[in-house]
Amino acid sequence: MAGEGTAQLEDEWSFVRKLAGRLRQENAILIFATLVAAFALIEGIPTGIVFWIWAIALVVALIRPPLVERVVVSSQAAPAPVDPEALLRTVFTGLSALDMPVLIIDREASVLMQNAAAEKAFGGFPIGAHISSKLRSPGLLDMVRETMTTNTPNQIEHSERLPSERVYIVRIAPIDLQRAEVEAGTFFLLSFRDISELRHIDRMRSDFVANASHELRTPLASLRGFIETIQGPAKSDPKAQQRFLGIMFDQTTRMSRLVDDLLSLSRLESKSHIAPDQKVDLVPLLGHVRDSLLPLAGDLDVTINLHVPAGKAEVMGDRDELVQVFENLIENACKYGQEGKSVEVSLLNEPDQAVSVVISDKGPGIPAEHVPRLTERFYRVNVEDSRSKKGTGLGLAIVKHILTRHRARLIVKSEVGKGTDFTVRF
Ligand code: ADP
């Protein structure tokens, strides 16, 4: 019962609040009525008539439609004229955050608006100038002209050489502002989808296939040649046959090394997004790698000196993959730095929790122009030198893949005539 009473009281209060609100909205009428009543009193008109003037003003104030409704009705009746450029600007503000270069041009192909990405990519179009002030490709300008006449979207591939080599898919489409007073085909949106990265990956993939087939074809061709010789001219020459079989054995070993490295790379690629989750102590691991390379180092007359701190040096990693990294780097240092006679492998616990392993040789070093490309597949400073040392050109590509998966970096410092340092930083 008490609840019902409260609800009723609230209803009454809300009615009074609404009434007060209405009266506040209509206070111009009430002020006017009060002024008329005051004037009537001064002029000596009887109070009864004054009361009626007031009462009529009050009723008028209450039964008129509310002010807000009146404003809405009047705006529907006469829409405000649209400024097409202002409307475009509002739409374009949303595109300014896009990382794809975008321009709005008019029917004369003059630039009206450009986003920050377009300014950055093309060095800023002068507003009001024809697009040819920055885009000179005849194919692209023809496409723009065609869209202006047909009013249909179009696209073309376009490359820019400056400030850097980039390939874009340029698309043009008429903008429909969905306003009767702005004709479709008054403005056009020109967008530039950057496909340079895709092209680069495509080129790398086809180079890779070409390189891999070339690397396999060379030993295969030599094998075939030796088989033909053994079947023909050397048919009854056991000494020559023995020599040829030795070379054939080396060629098949080279092919299987290459296939192993290719499989390693493909396996690594397939799990590149999974971070390793074992704890690996690098101290015993480096000792194991050094021991496994002692026969090779002995053959090359190189000493491997290992410098590790006392205690552990743990990193998150995959043990087998880390063995592969250090085997590749130390083997390279022994092979390519052979003339320096010694290879230093140092494990450093750095102050910022980082762990570094530096592999230094005192060999001929690597000319600076080759250093940035060393981790590319099949990249070799000297192809013949690499082949003669049983290289496949894939070792450092494998190292880079493994380190990327381990969130570690490979830093190469080399000085021609002095030697090379490969640093792995975890
Ligand atoms: P490869 O199988 O040819 O050894 P890698 O990918 O391991 O392939 O190395 C790529 C190239 O980098 C080598 O062919 C060699 O020219 C160069 N290189 C690697 N390590 C060294 C080093 N320590 N000193 C000089 N050159 C090196």
Which three-class secondary structure string do you get for 261-327?
HHHHHHHHHHCCCCCCCEEEEHHHHHHHHHHHHHHHHHHHCCEEEEECCCCCCEEEECHHHHHHHHH
Closest ligand 1 atom, residue 397 Cα: 6
Residue 21: per-residue pLDDT? 62
Which residues surround ligand 1 with Cβ inside 6 Å?
328, 332-333, 336-337, 361, 363, 366, 374, 380-382, 386, 391-397, 420
Where do you find CATH 3.30.565.10 in the chain? 279-425
> Rounded to whole angstroms, how far apart are CA atoms 346 and 356?
8
The CATH 1.10.287.130 domain(s) of the chain lie at 201-270
Tell me: the pLDDT tens digits for 223-253?
999 999 999 998 999 999 999 999 999 999 9
- Cα(342)–Cα(362) distance, integer angstroms: 7
Q: What is the mean pLDDT of the chain?
A: 86
* CATH architecture for the domain at 279-425: 2-Layer Sandwich (3.30)
C-alpha of residue 332 to centroid of ligand 1, in Å: 6
Distance 92 CA to ligand 1 centre (A): 52
How far apart, in whole angstroms, are the C-alpha atoms of residue 170 and residue 179?
27
Overall average pLDDT of the 192-219 stretch: 90
Q: State the distance from the centre of ligand 1 to the C-alpha of 277, rounded, in angstroms.
A: 30
More confident residue, 402 or 18: 402
Return the CATH class of domain 201-270.
mainly alpha
> Which of 257, 345, 376, 386 should be mutated for ligand 1, with most atoms under 8 A from CB?
386
> Which residue is listed with tokens 């496909």?
195
pLDDT, one tens digit per residue, over 352-378 is 788 999 999 999 999 999 999 999 999
Beta bridge partners of 306: 345
Least-confidence region, from 25-29, 190-194, 305-309 = 25-29
* CA separation for the pair 333, 328 (Å, rounded): 9
From 255, 304, 336, mutation site for ligand 1 pocket: most ligand atoms within 8 A of C-beta:
336
Residue nearest to atom 10 of ligand 1 (CA): 380
CA distance 50 to 40: 7
CB atoms within 10 A of CB 201: 10
Which residue's CA is the closest to the ligand 1 atom numbered 11? 380
Ligand 1, atom nearest to 382 Cα: 16
| Contact yes or no for 86/62 (Cβ under 8 A) | no
Backbone phi and psi for residue 420, each to the nearest 5 degrees, phi listed first: -135, 140
Q: What residues contact 87, with CB distance under 8 A and at least 6 apart?
A: 177, 179, 182
* Polymer length of the chain: 426
| DSSP β-bridge partners for residue 102 | 191
Task: Give residue 380 CA to ligand 1 midpoint distance, Å.
Answer: 6
> What is the number of other CB atoms lying within 10 angstroms of the CB of residue 57?
19
User: With pLDDT > 70 as the criterion, what percentage of the chain qualifies?
Assistant: 86
Looking at the chain, the domain(s) classified CATH 3.30.450.20 span 84-194
> What is the mean pLDDT of the segment spanning 394-419?
94
| Ligand 1 pocket, mutate which of 208, 330, 374 (most atoms under 8 A from CB) | 374
Residue 43: pLDDT band (50, 70, 90) is confident
Ligand 1 atom closest to the CA of 328, numbered from 1: 7
pLDDT, tens digit, 9 for 90 and up, residues 306-330: 999 988 999 999 999 999 999 999 9
Rounded average pLDDT over 335-364: 92
The domain defined by 84-194 carries CATH number 3.40.50.300:
no
d(CA 249, CA 411): 36
